Amino acid sequence: MKPFILGVFQLMNPNGMSGASWRHPDNTSLDFMDIDYWVKLAAMLEEAKFDFLFLADTYGTPIVDGEIPAVALEQAMNVPTADPVSLMSALAVTTTKLGLVVTSATTFEPPYAHARRFSTLDHFSRGRIGWNMVTGASAESAAKAFGQPLTPHDKRYDMGDDYLDLTLKLWEGSWEDGAVIADKAAGIYADASRVHRVVHRGEYYSTDCTYQVIPSPQRTPVLFQAGSSGRGLEFAARNAECVFLQGTSLAKVAASVTEIHAKAQGFGRAPGSVKILVGLSVFTAPTHEEAVRKYQDLLDLTTDEFAAAAYVANTGINLLALDPSQPLPKIDAQQGQSNVDRYRSQNGEKELTVREILDEFKSRGLRGLVLVGTPEEVADQMEDYADQTGLDGFLFEPHIVPGTYTDIIDLLLPVLRERGRAATEYGADTLRERIFPGEGPRLAAHHPGAAFRPEPAPAQPRHLQTVKG
């Protein structure tokens, strides 16, 4: 039996995926600005042999008519949020095996600066960095924070493709392997004939440079993606090596898995070249009743207002301003479409009303799949879900630190291990080799980014000429 790829979701704020979980009496998440909190958490995950810790991020907040709703500040939703890319630098030092995956939005970070930052992190972590490439949730308020107009939804993904091409050229196309000589006696740091100028003139982004960072173990960070709109899945199929899906319904997940694999092959990529993970919230305890109580404890912390603010942050739609008895009107959601599409009826089923959507979102929030039960019950459902959808793994979305982790590590992982579904050891050192065992630390040859690799050049070094007087 193949082990699942298992990661863990965190935000660098006091809340988890949804719900005002910071208020839970057992939650230590108010320490989120204390580096020791993250160091301890990463050590715990490494000890348990998780494949990676993922730090999600957005620059956006909920806004309604240009204002942040008070509930967002009162319940610590998106504000406060600190910079998780900086956190990765610290965890790169305190861990040695755990993969470190972090979001950086293509809409806002200049591609050259982004590429250099991630190359540096890949060096520091010795090849354990992954990049979650998103165009960005809460796009309207994030754009305002950067003094930009809101870029339309699909255009953000067009820009994302261009952004990817530029960054891939920097990572793959500038320095040949072996270009670093670092020979003190010969007085040569780099073989100038093997360091190539990178020229990219895209519709949205351009560069003409010599990339400044020498190749890191993976060169390109492992490429993750997380937006499940139609255009988002297209972007994923072209660029991503791993995709996070929101586990809304089994049928939708199975359809998305099939679509991503088919589209990836359409881009010339090998079958199985995209690994797909679904977000999963687990409430487990030795008895079923106790597990149900744990879930209820979390639900009790969440109000209509909180759920509506979380929904507006991800869609731009204020459910509380709509007629609760009516279905969601046809709205062109430029902020994010996954959480609108998620509630549209499929195959002619009855449309949910606004009230039903709010109730559903209140109980599940951005979390997709929720499994509640004994470790055996949860493991059964995970296996069943994966078998029926063709998923490769799960992204746990914990709500209480450290409580949810200890439940998963002490109760669920032993059951999954017994069934051969969870790793018992770390194999390779880089994140890419853990996700694609035996395929080496570098981007696969069939990924579009591999086309940017330079032909080994016999060109002469370009020495400066002395101007003759």
| Contacting positions for ligand FMN (CB under 6 A) | 9, 56-58, 103, 132, 134-137, 153, 226-229, 232, 244-246, 279, 314, 336-338, 395
Rg (CA), the chain: 23
Distance of alpha carbon 317 from alpha carbon 311, whole angstroms? 7
CB of 59 to ligand FMN, least distance (A): 9
With a CB cutoff of 8 Å and minimum separation 6, the contacts of 126 are 92, 96, 217, 429, 430
DSSP states of 84-111 as a string?
HHHHHHHHHHH-SS-EEEEEEETTTS-H
Q: Residues with Cβ < 8 Å from 65, sequence gap 6 or more?
A: none
Q: What's the CA gap between 223 and 331, in Å, rounded?
A: 31
| CB-nearer residue toward ligand FMN: 14 or 136 | 136
Strands 180-183, 188-190: pairing kind: antiparallel
57 in a known ligand binding site: yes
Closer of 75 and 132 to ligand FMN (Cβ)? 132
- The single-letter code of the amino acid at 260 is I
Nearer Cβ to ligand FMN (226/328) = 226
Nearest to 97 by CA among 444, 440, 441, 434: 434
Least distance from ligand FMN to the Cβ atom of residue 214, Å: 29
Q: Following DSSP, what letter does each residue of 426-453 receive, concatenated?
A: --SSSHHHHHSTTS-SSPPTTSGGGGGP
Nearer to ligand FMN, 14 or 336 (CB): 336
Name the minimum Å distance from CB 228 to ligand FMN.
5
* Cα–Cα distance for residue pair 260/270, rounded to 1 Å: 12
Minimal distance, residue 219 CB to ligand FMN, in Å: 23
211 appears as a binding residue in the annotation: no
What is the C-alpha to C-alpha distance for residues 280 and 399, in angstroms, rounded to an integer? 11
State which residue, 225 or 374, has the beta carbon closest to ligand FMN. Answer: 225
CB of 209 to ligand FMN, least distance (A): 28
What are the C-alpha distances in Å from 467 to residues 316, 333, 464? 61, 61, 9
Tell the smallest beta-carbon distance from residue 156 to ligand FMN (Å): 8
Q: Does the annotation list 103 as a binding residue?
A: yes
Nearer residue to ligand FMN within complex by CB, 22 or 396: 396
Q: Tokens 């009162």, residue? A: 74
Q: Closer to ligand FMN at the Cβ: 198 or 260?
A: 260
**203 is written with which tokens?**
């519709």
**Could you give the C-alpha distances from 15 to 270, 343, 423, in angstroms and in order?**
38, 24, 28
In this complex, which beta carbon is closest to ligand FMN, that of residue 195 or of residue 319? 319
Smallest CA-to-CA distance from 127 within 219, 54, 42, 212 is with 219
| Least Cβ distance, residue 302 to ligand FMN (angstroms) | 18
Quote the least distance from Cβ 246 to ligand FMN, whole Å: 4
157 is in an annotated binding site: yes
Annotated binding site for FMN: 57, 103, 153, 157, 228-229
Q: Binding site: residue ranges?
A: 57, 103, 153, 157, 228-229
